Amino acid sequence: MNVPHVISGNHLALLQSGTEYFPSLCADIDAARHSIYLETYIFAADQTGRMIADALQRAAARGVSVRLLLDGFGSSELPRQWLDDLSAGKVQVRWFRREISPFTLRRNRHRRLRRMHRKMAVMDAKVAYVGGINIVNDIPRHSNLSAPQLDYAVRVKGSVAGEIHAAMRHLWSVVSWASLRRRGKSIKRLVRNSAKPPASPDITLLLRDNVRHRRDIERKYLDAIEGAQREIILANAYFLPGRSFRQALIKASSRGVRVVLLLQGRVEYWIQHYATHALYDELLEAGVEIYEYQASYLHAKVAVVDGSWATVGSSNIDPFSLLLALEANLSVLHAEFSGELRSSLLEAIARDSVRVGDEYGLARSWLDRLVARFSYVVVRLLIGLLGYGKSI
């Protein structure tokens, strides 16, 4: 594991991809003595999933309270046998919105696509993780890739871990109440009492929900971008920002700030991928540098501004993360931590990425432009049907 940075009494270590993340997570699970909370969007039935499941079962066997929260869509392919084995091993499992039906989208359209996209863990309220890494093999299955996907997480030891513990315990309580169909005042009270003062002035846990904190992550990004003096480096897997976010980047570039975007170079979800291309001309014309990651899939959701502020988490810069999903990012004001993330991103740009040049718009065929525009319209139409059209 990387040498941790001491920030306001907390120890923060930046972890790159699953090769660093999973061994560290397993070691802390094995060291837990009282409680473990783990939240993930995807829990895959693969080698990595087995490693984490075994670690959770070992903890439960020695008397640790183990609580695993899974998203009902992202982890829907987890086999029943795995769930039975976890339950038999005394691991408590809860689902966030497991029932998904296309016939119910018209009714409750604002709720049906809300997902639990957070990737967090906390052991004994003392050690915690926040990031974008799912419980899934680091190298995608059914691919000819040899490099792990580029992603990040942060290991936190200190008072901020207690804040993360409180947030995860809160969501577990809400989901548990909902699973018993005890809705109404009790759940509203849980939601309303969720906000707490930050544990550290230089480290902020940003939790996007659909009640009081709908735009906290987006606002933090915008504040950092609008205050940038020299450089903005933003790496995001699914980049489809709204008008205000794009204008903030363009204005930063116009006042002389170097704006660098590291985006997905390989097609994973084609509508989202090509919808992003519809924004390239506007950004390139404003002087924004765009690089596409080629070594593997880009799954990062991070940014560094002026080498002093950084954020690492689960939130993409697209309408689904910013308007619909439960997300968690860590905002860190610290030059050494931010510098480490900046160096990692610059290395990925120099070694494994290609720059989208000013000639990009001219090089595209009419078919490329049509696909990009069609994809963008589809995404906007979907968001409009969900009632969020004026928000992006």
Active site residues: 117, 119, 124, 299, 301, 306
Which backbone phi and psi does 345 adopt, to 5 degrees? -70, -40
Give the type of residue at 125: A
**Residue whose pair of structure tokens reads 């473990």 in the numeric block:** 36
Tokens of 99: 């029932």
Helices (H), 212-334: 216-226, 243-254, 270-277, 280-285, 319
Query: Is residue 123 classed as helix, strand or coil in its secondary structure?
Result: strand
Give the residues across from 84 on adjacent strands: none
Of the candidates 297, 260, 277, 321, the one whose C-alpha atom is nearest the C-alpha of residue 114 is: 321
Bridge-based pairing of strands 203-208 and 327-333 is antiparallel
Angstrom CA distances, 370 to 277, 279, 283, 373, 389, stand at: 11, 13, 18, 5, 22
Compute the distance between CA of residue 2 and CA of residue 129 in angstroms, rounded to an integer.
14
Compute the distance between CA of residue 13 and CA of residue 131 in angstroms, rounded to an integer.
12
Tokens of 388: 């969020």
Of the candidates 306, 309, 288, the one whose C-alpha atom is nearest the C-alpha of residue 360 is: 288
Tokens of 142: 């059914």
Bridge-based pairing of strands 65-71 and 92-96 is parallel
